Amino acid sequence: MFNYVANKTNKYLESKSALKINLKTKRQECKDANYQQNKRITILGAGIAGLVAAYELERLGHQIDIMEGSPRIGGRVWTHRFGRGSGVPYGELGAMRIPHNHEYVLDYIHEMGLSHKLCKFVTMFEEHNARLRIRGKVFRVRDVSEMVLQTCYQGLFQDERYNENTRLFAAWFKTIVDAISCGELRECLEQDLSSHLMDELEKIDLQPFFNEQGKSIDIHAFIKTYPNFREKCSTALDLFLGDILVETSHDLFQLQGGMDQLTDSLATAIKAPIRYNQEVVALKVLDNGVEVSWLESGRLYTRHCDYVLCTIPFSVLRRMNLSGFDDNKLTTIHNTVYWAATKVLFHCARPFWEKDGIFGGASFSDEGIRQIYYPSIKNNSSEESVLLASYTIGNDAENLGMMPECDRNVYVQNALSKIHPEIQTEGIIFNAASIAWSNYKWSAGGCSVPWNHDMSYEHRHYQDIAKSQKTLFFAGEHCSRLPAWMEGSIESALQAVYDIAIHKPLTPAICVGKAAPKKLGIATH
C-alpha cells in the first residue's frame, strides 16, 4: 500500500504536471498583479481557505489579521484524537480523503513537508469483504450476485420490457447511488429510472461494463464511454454523479496521522497570530473599507478594516447584520443551500472487523447510518482502533442530527450490530465522538450544493457567489467549482488572493488597531 502511494507521489513530484504549473503560475500571476505591498487584510475564519489565503498574502508582503470565531483552527478539517500526545487513536470528523487530481491540496501537502504521510484511502466497493445491508439482508460485497439483486430489487427485475443486462445494470447503478447519496437523490434516481433511464440503458450494449459475471459494474468506464448519459439524469443527480465517481475512485489519498496536520502546518507557517473566540456579528461595507463588529468575552468590539476576506460559510454569514451589500449579493448569501452531514466515531478496543477479512474500505446500510468506514492504516501503537461507524448526508444526516449525542451513539450502535454483532460486546467501545455539522455553530451545514431545497436546479455560478463587495472579498468551498472538497476551498482562496493583490485602494493603507469595547446593544448592529 505504501509503495503504491510512494510511486504515485514520486511521479507527481518529479513530473512537470499541471499540479506544479498551476500553483507556480497562480503565484506568478498574483506577484505580477500585486499593486501595492503592505496592504492590511483581515481574514475572517481559520479554515483551510483562510489559512491558505493568509499564507499566500504574507508571501506577497501584506499584513494579515486572522479572526476565528471558534476555539480551534481547521474549520471542516477536524481530526478527533481519543487521548493526548502522539500515536493515540484518531478518526476524521471532517475531510478524510484527497482525490489524486486535487492538485492544490497535494501541492500544499508537499510544501508543508507532509508528502511522506500520504497513504492510500480504501473506499466504498473497493474492499470485497465489506458488507452491504439492503432491505434487511446482509451480504459481502464479493457475494452480491444477480440473484441477490433480484431479491432486493424485485420491481426492477419484474419489468420484462427490458433485457436482463439492462435490469442488472440498473440494479447495480441503484446500489452504488443508494450507498453514497442521500434520500433526496435516491428519490431522484427512482423517478429517473421509472420515467426514462431504463429506456436509455436499453439502447446501450452494457455487457462490456460488467465485471466478474455480473458481480459488479465499472461505472467509471461506463460514464467515460457514454458521458451524455449524465445529461439524461435529473440535474441534481447529474451533478452528484461527479462526486460518486470521485468517491468510488481507487486513486484516493489520506494523511497518516490525521488530516489536521495540513491545517496545523499552514497555521505554523503563517506569521500573523490567529485570534480565537472572536465571533463576528456584523459587517458593514463602506466606500473606504469594511466595518467589522464582533463579540469577545461578552463584549462588543468594532473596527474599520481596509480589506476583509470572509471565508465564513454563507449559512453562518446570513445570520449576521449585513449592510452596504448589493441586493444580488444578499440574495445569494440567503439562498445558497447547505446539506447536512453527520459523522459518528467509535473508539474500539480492537479492530474486530479484521477477523472477517476487512482491512479498509466501507460497508453500507440502508438503515439510518448509511456508510461505515474502516481504517486502512494502523494509526496507533496499541490494539485499539477507530471506526467511522456512521457517515450520513442530507436528510439522513438531519435525522441523526436531531438526536441528542448520547441517543445518536446508541442508535448507531444498534443499527451497526445488524452488520457487525460484535459491536454489542461489553467493553468493545471505549468511547465515541460525533458531530452533526448542521448543528455546529461555526459551519451550520456540511457543505454547499448548487440546487434548491426541493432538488430543482438553480444555476449560481461560483464566480457570482464569490463576487466581492468593494473591499470585502469571499472564499471557501461555497465559492468554488468544487463544493465540499478542500481543493475547492484552496482554489477559491488563491483566486481571492489574486483579486486582493490586483485591487487599487482608494486611499493609502491604514493600519487600525483593536477598537475600544462597546457595551452590547450599542447601535453598531
| Average pLDDT over all residues of the chain | 90
* Pair 166, 218 in one domain: yes
5-46 tens-digit pLDDT: 545 544 444 443 444 458 989 999 999 999 887 999 999 999
Rounded Cα distance, 471 and 308, in Å: 6
Enter the C-alpha cell of residue 133. Answer: 445491508
Please, which pLDDT band fits residue 515 given cuts at 50, 70 and 90?
low
What CA–CA distances, in Å, run from 103 to 20, 469, 486, 488?
8, 29, 10, 11
Residue 80 has pLDDT above 90, yes or no: yes
149 and 242 fall within a common domain: yes
265 and 242 inside one domain: no
High-pLDDT (> 90) share of the chain, %: 75
Is pLDDT of 189 > 60? yes
pLDDT at 449 over 70: yes
Q: Which of residues 202, 222, 247 is at a domain's end?
A: 247
In a domain, 399, yes or no: no
Looking at residue 395, its pLDDT comes to 93
Question: Pairing state of beta strands 40-44 and 307-310?
Answer: parallel
- Report which residue type is found at 441: K
Same domain, 183 and 236: yes
The count of structural domains within the chain is 2
Q: Residue 491 CA to chain centroid, in angstroms?
A: 14
What does the DSSP assignment read for 13-44?
HHS--HHHHHHHHHHHHHHHH---S--EEEEE
Residues 235 and 308 in one domain: no
Q: Per-residue confidence at 157, pLDDT binned at 50, 70, 90?
A: confident
Q: Are residues 70 and 32 in the same domain?
A: yes
Q: Are residues 188 and 330 in the same domain?
A: no
Q: Assess if residue 345 is contained within a domain.
A: no
Best CA proximity match to 359, nearest among 173, 84, 119: 119
Which residue range(s) make up the domain with 295? 21-75+261-335+460-502
Answer yes or no: is 239 within a domain: yes
Same domain? For 157 and 216 the reply is: yes
Q: Which of 1-10, 160-169, 283-292, 322-331 is the least confident region?
A: 1-10
Residue 459 pLDDT grade (very low, low, confident, very high; cuts 50, 70, 90): low
Q: Which is more confident, 151 or 396?
A: 396
pLDDT of 517 above 60: no
pLDDT tens profile 270-281: 999 999 999 999
In a domain, 62, yes or no: yes
Task: Check whether residue 159 and residue 240 sit in a common domain.
Answer: yes
The domain that holds 68 is classified in CATH as 3.50.50.60
The set of residues, in sequence order, having a beta carbon less than 8 Å from that of 393 and lying 6+ positions away, is 181, 182, 339, 340, 341, 342, 370, 446
Q: Which helix (H) or strand (E) holds 184?
A: helix 183-192
User: Does 158 share its domain with 223?
Assistant: yes
Evaluate whether residue 364 is within a structural domain: no
Tens of pLDDT, residues 494-508: 999 999 999 987 654
Domain match, 199 and 276 both: no
User: What percent of the chain stands above pLDDT 70?
Assistant: 89
512 part of a folded domain: no
* pLDDT for 458: 53
pLDDT band for position 454 (50/70/90)? low
Would you say residue 430 lies in a domain? no
Q: Is the pLDDT of residue 149 over 80?
A: yes
Same domain, 242 and 326: no
Query: How many Å is the Cα radius of gyration of the chain?
Result: 24
